Structure 1
Amino acid sequence: MIAMTAEQILEKLVGFPSVVGTPNHEIVGWIADYLEGAGAKVVVLTGPEGDRSNLFATIGPADRPGYLLSGHMDVVAATEPGWASDPFRLQRNGGRLTGRGTSDMKGFLACVLATLPAIAARPLARPLHLAFSYDEEAGCRGAPHLIARLPDLCAKPEGCIIGEPSGMRAIRAHKGKAAARVVLGGRAGHSSRPDLGLNAIHAMADILNEAVMTAKRLTGGPFDNNFEPPYSSLQIGTIHGGQAVNVIPEECTVELEARAIAGVDPTELLAGIEGRLDALKERGFAARWEIMSSYPALSLAADAPLALLLEEVTGQTPLAAVSYGTEAGLYQAAGTEAIICGPGDIGRAHKANEFIEDDELCACVRMIEALGERLAR
């Protein structure tokens, strides 16, 4: 195959508008063809949605423990004002490459793909696996389906590196997250006769109050000072309802999320809110509770073999923790140790003129090359 640089591959990947929640067959197909051309064994795993897929690939002996590189192919929509160029066309400005997903996280995917042919050309004693997922930006929706298939695809990996943007400094821990939607249905009517209707927005006040009280209570601990803030948190993100000021609102919808320190189940933080629904049903309201997404916290010991490996291949001591989340906790919960390390900066993600720098891509390529050398021993 014709060798491609990380920049050339990144240009191709950015050109696919693989926005979260939309079909992704084009980017999956291109990556699969590239990997097969490099000699990898590729499996495309269609998700239950039917129109988007995960991708898993292996080079080397799949029946031996190796390492797994994990990343997501989806990006958030490029609707932010202020883009100076087409967000789905890679632009160079000096040593900076701009485009949607450059930092989060197609830059990492490009480095993996650029490095793979040289690694595949070597006789590997242990395998290197690639696990590229969909809809991570919607709460890691694709990764659980991929992780469930791992026992059929390879021997249990020794560790998993998630390439989320971290400035190429490994990260050992992150918070878990659970997001939920509450929909209340009441009875519409004219606002002059509130006695004849059921005001869904008024009823939602019980849910809102419980959420606010829970959020306040969580500030009292338990604590983990590796995180900022050092406690679990809960917030209401959106609320929608009503048609007009003189109409009793028939429906109200709230979306909320909890973020949990290691050792705390994020779904349990929402239990008190869900528990309020029974009382509302008794008052005649229809009530629906939906967990939109959920993933556990990551917690890797400082002396874990995977943490020591990342220190060796990056030359930097891993950071203790960050407050954002990834699929790393899902891999750890399934029995595979995981750590975060990738090029770019999370502070650039989800913003206009998202970018990555040449030096960051080069550092990531060096890390993957160093990992490949260890697999060849």
Structure 2
Amino acid sequence: MDVFDILDRLVAFPSVAGKANGDIAGWIEAYLAEQGAKVALLPGPEGDRSNLFATIGPADVPGYILSGHMDVVPACEPQWSSSPFALRRDGDRLYGRGTTDMKGFLAAALAAAPMLAGLRLARPIHLAFSYDEEIGCRGVPHLIARLSEFCAKPLGVIVGEPSGMRAVRGHKGKAAARVTIRGRSGHSSRPDLGLNAIHAMADVLGTVVGEAGGLTHGPFDAAFEPPYSSLQAGVIAGGQSVNIIPDTCTLDLEARAVPGIDPTSLLAPVKARTEACETDGFRVEWTPLSAYPALSLPQDAPLAALLQKLTGQTPLAAVSYGTEAGLYQAAGFDAIICGPGDIGRAHKPDEYIFASELTACRQMIEALGARCAA
């Protein structure tokens, strides 16, 4: 199968984050086993989702991990020109959910597997495919925790998120949480008998706005746009009718932190203000939604030099979006981003990738294999 046939099969699996993924993981497992790879499915605690780890070459020698996620975001938008889970080709463009983010990278890695298996690899190439990346990198920590069971400590991890096939050394960390405030309902004509959850949330929201403004004063990292950490309220909901005292209000918020700052620490003042609402009789809940650390690979790291040779381009210092690379680095492994596609095409109707980008990615992986065989 060539890279386009493989992408066609992968897109056909509606592997939306948060749902069972046995179909796509099972197909990849069978395909890689046919190529002679050592493959393991690693079930997560959810019971219906698995990570996948495969090795081509000697597992007891340090090598390289090609990392990607099997899940995609939903494709419910009515603006799709064709079925999002049926690959459609129009010239050099290949349309479908996940083509860019990031089944294109998976397809390129899988298409390179037969060539890699035919080499006498002195250093192994591993494939680490995770689940539920799109809802907070929930699957990959379970995979990372078990890496020592399956391979020697890798020399580096290449995370194939869409970067236009130019390597990227850094990204911000992220933490997200949901605030729920519960008060007491009643008729709006007697506000003295109720507890207005929206009014209480207004104080919490004010803290978010104030803290966000303070972050613009630094610390700074010029590699990023904006060059400082950020905090924002993303979703707020509450109330039923204008003449009913709202008894519940929820707020989803996120922080994005420059390297050196723990993103969860940026949420701490908001959490404290939320908990203070309890003194006024409200019941509050603080629910973490996701968290991953920043990535910051040094400019002189061997992995950065390797990717420059493989791609012919100097790695970028940083991008605005986040990836699983920060989690690999936090676990003690050098990590870098490099994959086909453009993040600007992801998470929207008529997501697409160029056929030439898939070819370039497969060639980069095969070039890595050639170096590992030297």
Specify the TM-score bucket, using the shorter chain as the normaliser. Answer: over 0.9
State the Cα distance separating 1:277 from its structure 2 match: 2.6
- 1:376 and 2:370 matched: no
Match of 2:263 in 1: 266
Q: Equivalent of 2:108, from 91, 107, 111?
A: 111
* Cα distance in structure 1, aligned partners of 2:348 and 2:4: 21
Match of 1:335 in 2: 332
State the Cα distance separating 1:134 from its structure 2 match: 0.6
- 1:230 and 2:227 matched: yes
Sequence identity of aligned pairs in percent? 68
Cα deviations by residue, 1:122-176 (Å, 9 ceiling, x for unpaired): 1111111111011111111111111111111211100000000000000000000
Match of 1:47 in 2: 44
Bigger shift: residues 357-366 or 5-14: 357-366
* Cα distance in structure 1, aligned partners of 2:145 and 2:339: 24
- 1:21 and 2:18 matched: yes
User: Does the residue aligned with 1:275 lie in a helix, a strand or coil?
Assistant: helix
Match of 1:344 in 2: 341
* Cα distance in structure 2, aligned partners of 1:196 and 1:42: 62
Q: Equivalent of 2:63, from 58, 62, 66?
A: 66
State the Cα distance separating 1:31 from its structure 2 match: 0.4
Q: Equivalent of 1:82, from 79, 83, 88?
A: 79
Cα deviations by residue, 1:187-238 (Å, 9 ceiling, x for unpaired): 1111111111111111011110000001100011111111000100011000
Q: Which amino acid aligns with 1:169?
A: R
State the Cα distance separating 1:50 from its structure 2 match: 1.1
Q: Equivalent of 1:92, from 86, 89, 92?
A: 89
Cα deviations by residue, 1:266-319 (Å, 9 ceiling, x for unpaired): 000000001113321111111111111000000011110000000001111101
Bigger shift: residues 146-155 or 62-71: 146-155
State the Cα distance separating 1:256 from its structure 2 match: 0.3
State the Cα distance separating 1:80 from its structure 2 match: 2.1
Q: How many residue pairs align between the two structures?
A: 374
Q: Equivalent of 1:180, from 171, 177, 180?
A: 177
* Cα distance in structure 1, aligned partners of 2:28 and 2:67: 14
Match of 1:283 in 2: 280
Q: Equivalent of 1:10, from 7, 12, 21?
A: 7
Match of 1:101 in 2: 98
State the Cα distance separating 1:107 from its structure 2 match: 0.3
Q: Equivalent of 2:214, from 196, 213, 217?
A: 217
Match of 2:357 in 1: 360
TM-score scaled by length of structure 2: 0.99
1:201 and 1:94, CA in 2 relative to 1: closer, same or farther beyond 3 A? same
* Cα distance in structure 1, aligned partners of 2:11 and 2:260: 37
Match of 1:325 in 2: 322
Match of 1:34 in 2: 31
Q: Equivalent of 1:294, from 291, 297, 300?
A: 291
- 1:130 and 2:127 matched: yes
Cα deviations by residue, 1:326-357 (Å, 9 ceiling, x for unpaired): 00000000000000000000000011111111
User: Does the residue aligned with 1:234 lie in a helix, a strand or coil?
Assistant: strand
* Cα distance in structure 2, aligned partners of 1:177 and 1:312: 30
Q: Which amino acid aligns with 1:42?
A: V
Match of 1:257 in 2: 254
Q: Which amino acid aligns with 2:120?
A: P
Q: Which amino acid aligns with 1:150?
A: L
* Cα distance in structure 2, aligned partners of 1:142 and 1:188: 39
* Cα distance in structure 1, aligned partners of 2:185 and 2:48: 37
* Cα distance in structure 2, aligned partners of 1:80 and 1:319: 33
Q: Which amino acid aligns with 2:130?
A: S
Q: Which amino acid aligns with 1:40?
A: A
* Cα distance in structure 2, aligned partners of 1:276 and 1:96: 49
- 1:244 and 2:248 matched: no
Gaps of 5+ in 2: none
User: Does the residue aligned with 2:145 lie in a helix, a strand or coil?
Assistant: helix
Q: Which amino acid aligns with 2:155?
A: E
TM-score scaled by length of structure 1: 0.98
* Cα distance in structure 2, aligned partners of 1:319 and 1:115: 25
Q: Over the residues paired in the alignment, what is the CA RMSD in angstroms?
A: 0.7
* Cα distance in structure 1, aligned partners of 2:275 and 2:234: 23
